[in-house]
Amino acid sequence: GIQVEQSPPDLILQEGANSTLRCNFSDSVNNLQWFHQNPWGQLINLFYIPSGTKQNGRLSATTVATERYSLLYISSSQTTDSGVYFCAGVTDKLIFGTGTRLQVFP
Amino acid sequence: DADVTQTPRNRITKTGKRIMLECSQTKGHDRMYWYRQDPGLGLRLIYYSFDVKDINKGEISDGYSVSRQAQAKFSLSLESAIPNQTALYFCATSDFKMDEQFFGPGTRLTVL
């Protein structure tokens, strides 16, 4: 079955820094989603990105489906970016990675 | 109003009790899902439904049952709760045309 791996597992940044999170998936997926789980546990949709690049404010994502990876870029990080970032491969259901825990300090 | 709602948001119950978690959506989506999240882990699929007459087991369905009462409502039941079912439970929806999933706010369940 499809497996989804994320790196790094933990990331600590000072406010204003940039970061790149990586998601590797083991087989072809129909689509890929990125989520942010905030400290209160809510899951927020960031990107739905089967291939190519999308941008939303300070965040952008790139998926290279032929090479089975996706990258999430966070620029000029803010304390409100803290939380866990998940990627999930979409087949007929979502297969989640184990997440990257991001802490941004002032 | 939120597009995907879950009730209750928090619940503490005792071993052996029956409990139902409810999910409602106003997105008009036909597909609904129940996931569970354990601390420090990603979400795992319990059950999913592609329409009112379609129910499918997910990765971890043992100990759970579901009911799709209408297109907009999907409930999850624990017939006899046990402590290792303590977790954060999420409901999600998607449309058959576009498989992006949208999640409810979650239900934090504690089984003592």
The pLDDT tens digits for B31-51 are 999 999 998 888 999 999 999
SS3 B76: strand
Q: By the CB < 8 Å criterion, does B41 face chain A?
A: yes
Q: Which residues on B lie below 8 Å from A35 (Cβ)?
A: 103
Percent of chain A residues past pLDDT 70, beyond the cut: 99
Q: Which residue of B has its CA nearest to A48?
A: B100
Select the residue from B23, B47, B101, B110 to test the A interface by mutation, using most A Cβ atoms within 10 A: B101
pLDDT number for residue B16: 97
B48, B98, B103: residue with CB nearest A43? B103
Alpha-carbon distance values, B111 to A8, A76, B12, B64, B81 (Å) = 32, 41, 6, 14, 7
Q: Does residue A1 have a pLDDT over 80?
A: no
The pLDDT tens digits for A2-34 are 789 999 999 999 999 999 999 999 876 778 999
Select the residue from B45, B99, B102 to test the A interface by mutation, using most A Cβ atoms within 10 A: B99
pLDDT number for residue B96: 78
A42, A93, A96: residue with CB nearest B42? A96
The phi-psi region of residue A16 (left if phi > 0; otherwise alpha if psi is between -120 and 50; otherwise beta) is left
Q: For residue A75, what are the β-bridge partners?
A: none
The pLDDT tens digits for B59-110 are 999 999 999 999 999 999 999 999 999 999 999 999 877 788 999 999 999 9
Select the residue from B10, B32, B96, B100 to test the A interface by mutation, using most A Cβ atoms within 10 A: B100
Q: By the CB < 8 Å criterion, does B27 face chain A?
A: no
User: In this structure, are strands A10-14 and A100-105 parallel, antiparallel, or unpaired?
Assistant: parallel
B42, B48, B108: residue with CB nearest A86? B42
* Cβ neighbours of residue A57 closer than 8 Å, sequence gap 6 or more: none
SS3 B85: helix
For residue A78, give how far its alpha carbon lies from the nearest alpha carbon of chain B (Å). 22
A42, A90, A97: residue with CB nearest B42? A97
Distance in angstroms (rounded) separating the CA atoms of residues B77 and A105: 41
pLDDT number for residue B1: 54
